[in-house]
Amino acid sequence: MINRRKFIQSTAVAGTSFLLAPQLSKAAGFFKGSPNEKVVLGMMGTNSRGLYLAQSFAKLPNVEIGYICDVDSNVVAKTIDAIYKQTGKKPQGLTDIRKMLEIKDIDAVVVAPPDHWHAPATIMACQAGKHVYVEKPCSHNPHEGEMAVEAANKYKRLVQMGSQRRSFSNVQAMVKELHDGVIGRTYYAKGWYTNHRASIGKGKQVPVPANLNYDLWQGPAPRKPYQDNLIHYNWHWFWNWGTGEALNNGTHELDVIRWGLGVDYPNKVVSTGGRFHFDDDWQTPDTQNILYNFPNNTAAEWECRSCNGFEIEKLSRGVVFYGDKGTLFYDSGNSYRVYNGDNKLVKEIKDDTKVDGTNKVSPTEALDGFHMKNFADSIRGTDKLNCPIEVGFKSTLLPQLGNISYRVDRVLHIDPNNGHIINDPQAQKLWSREYEKGWEVKV
C-alpha cells in the first residue's frame, strides 16, 4: 500500500512492460545540472488542470515553477499568486507559448491547454530543446500523435503523457499479475465512465473578453467565432478544439486496458452513440460505446454516459479484465480484486486513497505525484519514463479510432502493424486535420 504522505520522498517504480525508447534511455546528457539540482518548468495552460499540475509539480523536491503561460491574463495572475503563496517564489507570466519556448533556463514544459494545442505545443517544445509533460490526450488527431512521437525521437527529448496510472505501484503490480496469468489467458476487458454533466445550452456570439487572447487560444485550429458557452471547459464537446468524452476520460481506462491485454493496435473498431440527453450545442456524443478486436484474439469495450451518472459495478469509472480462469476488477485508482472461475474472491489489493471519477481536475489527486516525480527524475537521468510518448500515442489512438468510427458510422478495419485505417478514404480524412493558415504543424 502506498503511504500518500510520503509520496514525494518515494521513488516511482518503472513500468513493467513499456520503458523509455533505447535512444532516450539516459537523460543525463540532456540535463545541464546534477541529479540534486532543480528542474525548471514552464507551464502552458493553467486555468484548471494546469493549475493543479503547477501546484503538484511545485510540491516535488528541486522542481521550480519558473514560468506561467496562458492566453487569459486573469488565469496567469491567479496561477502566479497561487504558486507564490505555495512556494514563496513568483513565476514569470507570459501569454504566447512561442515566447516562453525562447527562454533558455526552462528544462521542460508542462502542456495542459485545450486538446487542439497538445501535440503542436509538444512538437514546438521539442524543437526548442525542452522536455515535455503533455496531458492526455497527447493529440487532437492520430497524425498529430505520430508527429509528436517523431519529434521526441528527432530532437531527442523526453516526452511523458499524463496517464498517471502508469506510475501507480499497485497498478503496475496488477498488470504484471495479468501478464503472469493470474486469471489465465486474459481475453476481454471492459472499461467505463459515467457522469451527470449539465447542458451547455445554446451559445451566443459575443465580444471576446478583454482578458482573453482568443486568437492564441485557437492557435493551430481553424478560426471559429467566439461564443459565450465555449471557454474555459465546454470546448471539450466541439470537434474543432475538443475530442469528446472518449479522449477526455476514456483515454485513462483504455490505456489500462491496452496495457493489461498486452496489445498495441487493434484490427477492428466500431462505435455507436449520440448526443441524446440535451438539445444544445454539444457536438460530441454524450453516450458512446466503442468495441475493439485485437490481433492476439482479444477484445475490449469502453462505455460512456456523460449525462447519466448511474454507476456501473458501483463505480463511476473502472475496468474489468476477463480470463479463462477468472476475473480481475480494477477500481481506476490503486486497488484491485481477483476472482477465480467460480467468482470467488481470491485476492484483494487495497489502497484507501479516495477516487472521485467525476472530479474535473483530478479523480486520483492523491496519487498523481508519482507520475510527475517520475518525469522530473527521468530528466535528471535517475529514472525512466513510465508513459513515454510512444506508449501514450498508442493509447490515445484507441479512443480516436472510436470517434472516427462514430463520425463515419461504420466499422473500421485497422492495420495492426501501425494502427492505420484500411480502405476507407472518408474515415482516413479524419486521421488528420486542417490548420489555420500560418499555424501548420511540422516536425
Alpha carbons 149 and 101: distance in angstroms, whole number? 19
Same domain, 147 and 292: no
Same domain, 262 and 357: yes
pLDDT at 36: 58
Mean pLDDT over 405-414 rounds to: 98
Q: Which residue range forms the structural domain that includes residue 423?
A: 169-200+229-362+392-427
Same domain, 99 and 162: yes
Q: Is the pLDDT of residue 22 over 60?
A: no
Residue at 438 is within a domain:
no
Q: Is the pLDDT of residue 8 over 50?
A: no
Query: Tens of pLDDT along 278-287?
Result: 999 999 999 9
Same domain, 132 and 193: no
Alpha carbons 123 and 130: distance in angstroms, whole number? 10
Residue at 159 is within a domain:
yes
Residue at 288 is within a domain:
yes
Alpha carbons 248 and 360: distance in angstroms, whole number? 10
Query: Tens of pLDDT along 75-107?
Result: 999 999 999 999 999 999 999 999 999 999 999
Same domain, 325 and 381: no
Same domain, 94 and 116: yes
Query: Tens of pLDDT along 344-403?
Result: 999 999 987 766 555 555 656 778 999 999 999 999 999 999 999 999 999 999 999 999
Q: Is the pLDDT of residue 18 over 70?
A: no
Q: Minimum mean pLDDT among 55-69, 257-271, 360-374: which range?
A: 360-374
Number of Cβ within 10 Å of residue 29's Cβ equals 8
Same domain, 312 and 384: no
Q: Is the pLDDT of residue 17 over 50?
A: no
pLDDT at 352: 77
Burial of residue 81 (number of CB atoms within 10 Å: 0-12, 13-18, 19+): exposed
Mean pLDDT (the chain) is 91
Please list the alpha-helical segments (H only) found in 62-117: 73-87, 97-100
pLDDT at 1: 35
Number of domains in the chain: 2
Domain containing residue 236: CATH number: 3.30.360.10
Same domain, 281 and 178: yes
Query: Tens of pLDDT along 293-331?
Result: 999 999 999 999 999 999 999 999 999 999 999 999 999
Residue 99 zone, left/alpha/beta (φ > 0; ψ -120 to 50; rest)? alpha
The secondary structure of the chain in percent helix, strand, coil, rounded to multiples of 5, reads 30, 20, 45
Query: Tens of pLDDT along 181-202?
Result: 999 999 999 999 999 999 999 9
What's the CA angle centered on 34, arms 30 and 35, to 5 degrees? 90
Return the percentage of the chain with pLDDT > 90, whole number.
88
Residue at 1 is within a domain:
no
Same domain, 25 and 109: yes
Domain containing residue 84: CATH number: 3.40.50.720
Mean pLDDT over 123-135 rounds to: 98
Residue at 131 is within a domain:
yes
Same domain, 185 and 321: yes
The structure's pTM equals: 0.90
C-alpha 10 chain-centroid distance: 23
Same domain, 101 and 185: no
Residue at 443 is within a domain:
no
Residue at 184 is within a domain:
yes
pLDDT at 317: 97
Residue at 336 is within a domain:
yes
Same domain, 286 and 377: no
pLDDT at 360: 57
